[in-house]
Structure 1
Amino acid sequence: MAVNKRFPPPPSVYGHARPWNSSIKPELLHVIFARQAREVPDAPLVEFLGRSFTYRQLYSEARRFAAGLAERGISKGDRVGLFLPNVPTYVAAYYGAMMAGAVVVNFSPLYTVEELSHQVEDSGTKLLVTLDSPLLLPTATKVLDASSLQHLIVARLADSLPRLKSLALRTLGRRQLAPVPQRSDVLEWSDVLAEWNWVRWLDGKEPDLRVGTVTDLALLQYTGGTTGTPKGAMLTHGNLSSNAIQVDMLDPFDRAESDIVLGALPLFHVFANTCVLNRTVVRGGCIVMLPRFEAGQVLKTITRTQPRAFPGVPTMFQALLDHPDFTRTDWSALRVCISGGAPMPGPLREKFESSTGVRLIEGYGLTESSGVVSTNPYQGLRKPGTIGQPIPATQVLLLDKEDPESLAPDGEPGELAVRGPQVMQGYWNLPEAQATTFAEHNGEAWLRTGDVATIDDDGFLTIVDRIKDMIAVGGFKVFPSQVEAVLLEHPAIKEALVIGRPDAYRGEAPAAYVTLNEGESVSGDELKAWLNAKVGKHERVEELVVREALPKTMIGKLDRKALRAEVLG
């Protein structure tokens, strides 16, 4: 195995629909959106809980929002924040801000006042768009009072719903809505749009909404914070449009078919931002958008709307399998499900595929790469347990785990490094991080991922673990993911996390935490004995704890950092 061989492999084993050396032509994201609005104006871009929004409608809203931003002094390079769940307003606000030359900043709807305030200040966000939800608006208002934020724009959920649902929410569901504060620095979305002066446009004085270059910043995307304080990855129009085009190139299916993607992943996360939003606009397709992931609603929506693709994280697919409506769902239209964000357990993949007949493939990416680096091919050769082959125009190599200035020795895993048009420019306000985030080889800058990997002769990548997660046991390096993979072979175990705990003699010792499948009953001591008989001496856990639940991140990934903080303090 030539583990430090640079990609690409021989063309005969490259499994993606387009060649690795395909040409990528980056564009301004809002220019791509404008082109689709001209070419397929009446095609649905978003289907939201039974109501359709066409390209023409959302493009019009985006233009009017851009004009409203200009009226408030928002200009090129200013930061506009989106504190929104998956709603149609997100699409108009995202592309509209870019039309105005602004940089979008995504904020998770799960953020506390403190988390949101910190990132608003760090990014210098001037204006924030949110929803009249009791889970969002009060938090956003407190941040408006406690930060340098200048304006808050509030969209009303009822305005995005079908007529009867909208009426019911306005009349019977008022407790599900938060009152919009009556103050000069809080504006309603509809009022901002109404201020677009169409006379100026008719007179030929429309603001130039296409100004800019592909090297301009489009998005500040904060990392999930699993390796420390969240950092704002600086992603340009070229980075994001390239990755959307790269992902679209992976699709081998008939392009005459309707392109419908299920959007249950949160759009504020880079995975969905590229694979659900930008890729769909590049294709001229439709997003079946759900405000959040709820297994029963997802299953009903699959039957009702017949999507062709469903990107998700492993816990989503597990939740679908566990739901009583799973066997009553019509899976016939789905061509592929794409899993990312966390390793896909083999038993989960096998059960999902055998139950649905839909291919579930695993891919890999990170915030700093605009979303996607590699994936298993949608058809043909794949290698379960790997993260597939790099996508078109993406290079990878392996660095020495102890010395990133050198390549990994032959036959050994190394830190995965990436080059491609989707790789970020650096971290916002953290120029000193550049030296540790990128490594230089042969005069080229490579993004260090922090993930330890191998590359086989066909160019398939396997993630072994994260450098910071490796456990030092008496001079040996233990990879938690390898121990977790063994645990998941036990039929009673549903989820598993392994962390290192301080040990006076060995430095650290592995400890395992698991949840069980429904109806299973087995003790931690029994599982510990079973596991320790199957792993190396230095990998044996000193304790195995059975829990009701394991901590997860905002998109449903198992959260090793949170578990470590909980257990070790």
Structure 2
Amino acid sequence: MHAPPPAFDPPADVTEPAPSHFRHWPPGQPRHLTLPRTHLFHNVEVSAARFPDKPCLIFYDSVLTYADLLAQTERLAGWLQREGGVRPGDRVLLDAQNSPQWVLAYYAILRADAVVVPVNPMNRCDELRHVVADAGARIALVAQDLLAEVLPLLDEAAATGDGSEGLQRVVAITYSDHLTAATDLAVPPFVAAPRNLPQRPDVTAWADAMAAGHVPEPYHAGPDDLAVMPYTSGTTGQPKGCMHTHRSVMSTAVGGVHWFGRTQDWVALSVLPFFHVTGMSGGMNGPIYAGGTVVLLPRWDRDAAAQCIQRYRVMTWQAISTMVIDFVNHPRIGDYDLSSLVGIRGGGAAMPAAICAKLKALTGLDFVEGYGMSETMAATHINPPQRPKPQCLGVPVYDVDARIIDPVTLTEVAPGEPGEIVVHAPQVMTGYWRQPQATAEAFLEIDGRRFLRTGDLARVDEDGYFFMTDRLKRMINASGFKVWPAEVEALLYHHPAVQEACVIGARDARRGETVKAIVVLKAGAEPPDAEALMHWCHDHMAAYKVPRIVDFVTALPKSGSGKVMWRELQEQQARRDGEAAGA
């Protein structure tokens, strides 16, 4: 169960190597942050002991107190151990939208000394098959509206295995089990749906698992044991598990609380998905550590968001640019009392200056941007809240040694010059699960410290603020979702008519970027049209990965070694996008 030794050692002088950003450090904050050396579940125990009757989670006006959170998490952890067969270090899949059950499941898995494997609820069966097999997950907690994507994996394991490999058991989540109060908010049909589960021995209703009343064994994991393993894709196509320990997850949870000066009376609107590290850290783990209140929405709904802000006197809201654009353009936004808001922050894609101005006029607040990745359990950089800069990644937060290097020579560049961001920090993963080669390629050593190569190109200004300039790795940023072309290409090759495919990014007015597929069809195959191919993609991959543009060509450009010259195609697309924008 034990992870490799921690990759982080606090620098003796935290003002190195970029002291300029400390001139604008949040007032009253230390430069070094001492982290708790405790199990993440201990945060639940502490907040429940301090504030037992305080609302922890609010879900369409239904309230779960901290005492409820502790009791229900303990019961589910007991079921996972005693009936689910979960042992310390086991990887457990969590596939659902933001909900009380997501939070309970997350902390129950940790309470059982197991490892949370959060997955995107938009993932389809083919995508989930890889994660289940790679992580070695034998049990999953899955929302009932997503069961159709998971049940085939249970059937496959039952048909081919002896019960020791593959997905063996599912706990089915029915969101409406936690709708315990009347509400005038618009509850989505998939949330309001009554329990409707298949009758099979390998599927257990959430309510039945809770009703069993099992008591878990004591937990023993330490700060350097694995806790959470989100999957991230990359240039190789197949997603890789990022190994995070209790220490690395604690780092961004505690760091965010202190950076923004939050207290136990914090009320947060959490609509960013918890499966993603930004929502997980800032929208769930941080508030629970502080003893705050989390107002949950499973999907973005600008009316429900505005109603919740007004009703619960929400103080903070984490968002991506598409949410804020939709929010400030609401024709009736002036009808809502938004005066309780003291902070709006996010990342994933730069916020347009015009939208920042609209948000400032509406709320009096600046949008505070940050930067991080799955490999760093959310932010390594955040703008100082008292002095944010627009379209800026921010400054390195507590104990983060961030440098800019030449991606070829691996030497530091001159001040102000662009280069690749590399980070040495307590929130950096220990490595990729069962991927020693990929792990070795992701890190390098500088001055005796282990630095993560981010693949993102940036420059640092005279104040020590980091600004993104480009990406070294292939990646499309569609409405804040990272789409890795190699993964989409790998799925396209399963189509019977596709001989070759190259996926690139194209400019999109609403999403920022969108996915474009350039496809060579097999000779003699029944040729699909673009719409038919996109429909097939919807059945085999998450919706945000589906190509919105499809071009059929007779051949793809290739190098002398036979590699597809994707960069040439991307540059051609960029020129076309530029010409269209200037027309």
Compared with structure 1, are the counterparts of its residues 226 and 84 closer, same or farther at alpha carbon in structure 2 (3 Å cutoff)? farther
Amino acid of the structure 2 residue aligned with 1:259:
W
Compared with structure 1, are the counterparts of its residues 75 and 16 closer, same or farther at alpha carbon in structure 2 (3 Å cutoff)? farther
Which residue does 1:194 correspond to in 2?
211
Instruction: Give 1:324 deviation, angstroms.
Output: 2.1
Q: Matches of 1:360 and 1:227 in 2, distance apart?
A: 34
Compared with structure 1, are the counterparts of its residues 326 and 15 closer, same or farther at alpha carbon in structure 2 (3 Å cutoff)? same
Residues 168-179 of structure 1: matches in 2 within 5 Å? 176-177=193-194, 179=196
- For the aligned residues, what is the CA RMSD? 3.2
Conserved in 1, the CA contact under 8 Å of 2:23 and 2:463?
A: no
Structure 2 counterpart of 1:112, from 113, 118, 124: 124
Matched, 1:399 2:405: yes
Which residue does 1:246 correspond to in 2?
255
Q: Matches of 1:122 and 1:197 in 2, distance apart?
A: 30
Instruction: Give 1:295 deviation, angstroms.
Output: 1.8
Which residue does 2:328 correspond to in 1?
321
Which residue does 1:419 correspond to in 2?
424
Q: Matches of 2:544 and 2:174 in 1, distance apart?
A: 33
Structure 2 counterpart of 1:79, from 73, 77, 91: 91
Conserved in 2, the CA contact under 8 Å of 1:401 and 1:408?
A: no
Matched, 1:445 2:436: no
Residues 61-100 of structure 1: matches in 2 within 5 Å? 61-72=72-83, 73-100=85-112
Amino acid of the structure 1 residue aligned with 2:509:
T
Residues 154-553 of structure 1: matches in 2 within 5 Å? 154-164=172-182, 176-177=193-194, 179-197=196-214, 207-209=217-219, 211-223=220-232, 228-252=237-261, 255=263, 258-379=265-386, 381-404=387-410, 406-468=411-473, 513-515=507-509
Amino acid of the structure 2 residue aligned with 1:319:
D
Q: Matches of 1:68 and 1:560 in 2, distance apart?
A: 35
Which residue does 1:33 correspond to in 2?
44
Instruction: Give 1:268 deviation, angstroms.
Output: 0.9
Question: SS at the partner of 1:447?
Answer: strand
Instruction: Give 1:359 deviation, angstroms.
Output: 2.4
Question: SS at the partner of 2:229?
Answer: strand
Structure 1 counterpart of 2:153, from 143, 151, 155: 143
Question: SS at the partner of 1:458?
Answer: coil
Conserved in 2, the CA contact under 8 Å of 1:296 and 1:325?
A: no
Question: SS at the partner of 1:137?
Answer: helix
Q: Matches of 1:100 and 1:37 in 2, distance apart?
A: 18
CA deviation string 1:99-142 (max 9, x = no partner): 11110100111111111111111111111111222xx1222222
Which residue does 1:531 correspond to in 2?
none
The TM-score, its normalising length taken from structure 2, stands at 0.76
Amino acid of the structure 2 residue aligned with 1:323:
H
Amino acid of the structure 2 residue aligned with 1:68:
W
Conserved in 2, the CA contact under 8 Å of 1:84 and 1:130?
A: yes
Conserved in 2, the CA contact under 8 Å of 1:80 and 1:104?
A: yes
The alignment-based identity, stated in percent, is: 31
Question: SS at the partner of 2:138?
Answer: strand
Amino acid of the structure 2 residue aligned with 1:344:
M
Q: Matches of 1:431 and 1:515 in 2, distance apart?
A: 40
Q: Matches of 2:294 and 2:191 in 1, distance apart?
A: 28
Amino acid of the structure 1 residue aligned with 2:438:
A
CA deviation string 1:225-274 (max 9, x = no partner): 58843211111110001111111111236x47x21000111111111000
Question: SS at the partner of 1:149?
Answer: coil
Conserved in 2, the CA contact under 8 Å of 1:26 and 1:242?
A: no
Question: SS at the partner of 1:365?
Answer: strand
Q: Which moved more, 1:357-366 or 1:8-17?
A: 8-17
Q: Matches of 1:444 and 1:173 in 2, distance apart?
A: 48
Q: Matches of 1:208 and 1:76 in 2, distance apart?
A: 11
Q: Matches of 2:505 and 2:58 in 1, distance apart?
A: 45
> Paired residues, what number?
477
Compared with structure 1, are the counterparts of its residues 22 and 131 closer, same or farther at alpha carbon in structure 2 (3 Å cutoff)? closer
List alignment gaps of at least 5 residues for structure 2.
1-15, 158-165, 486-503, 512-537, 557-583
Q: Matches of 2:48 and 2:228 in 1, distance apart?
A: 22
Q: Matches of 1:178 and 1:117 in 2, distance apart?
A: 25
Q: Matches of 2:412 and 2:465 in 1, distance apart?
A: 18
Amino acid of the structure 1 residue aligned with 2:468:
I
Structure 2 counterpart of 1:15, from 15, 23, 26: 26
Conserved in 1, the CA contact under 8 Å of 2:59 and 2:297?
A: yes
CA deviation string 1:180-221 (max 9, x = no partner): 1111111111222222346xxxxxxx6213x11111100110
Q: Which moved more, 1:145-154 or 1:271-280?
A: 145-154
Conserved in 2, the CA contact under 8 Å of 1:226 and 1:559?
A: no
CA deviation string 1:152-194 (max 9, x = no partner): 101222210034469x99xx99994572111111111122222
Conserved in 2, the CA contact under 8 Å of 1:132 and 1:177?
A: no
Q: Matches of 2:190 and 2:122 in 1, distance apart?
A: 22
Instruction: Give 1:48 deviation, angstroms.
Output: 0.4
CA deviation string 1:282-311 (max 9, x = no partner): 110010001111222212222222210000
Conserved in 1, the CA contact under 8 Å of 2:176 and 2:192?
A: no
Q: Matches of 1:59 and 1:408 in 2, distance apart?
A: 50
Which residue does 1:152 correspond to in 2?
170
Conserved in 2, the CA contact under 8 Å of 1:16 and 1:391?
A: no
Which residue does 2:69 correspond to in 1?
58
Conserved in 2, the CA contact under 8 Å of 1:8 and 1:395?
A: no
Conserved in 2, the CA contact under 8 Å of 1:16 and 1:250?
A: no
Instruction: Give 1:77 deviation, angstroms.
Output: 0.6
Question: SS at the partner of 2:224?
Answer: coil
Q: Matches of 1:77 and 1:274 in 2, distance apart?
A: 21
The TM-score, its normalising length taken from structure 1, stands at 0.77
Q: Which moved more, 1:559-568 or 1:156-165?
A: 559-568
CA deviation string 1:370-415 (max 9, x = no partner): 1111111122x222222111111111001112233x2224542110
List alignment gaps of at least 5 residues for structure 1.
199-205, 471-479, 485-496, 500-509, 518-552
CA deviation string 1:8-60 (max 9, x = no partner): 43643323651222323342110111111111111111000001100110111
Instruction: Give 1:456 deviation, angstroms.
Output: 2.3
Question: SS at the partner of 1:9?
Answer: helix
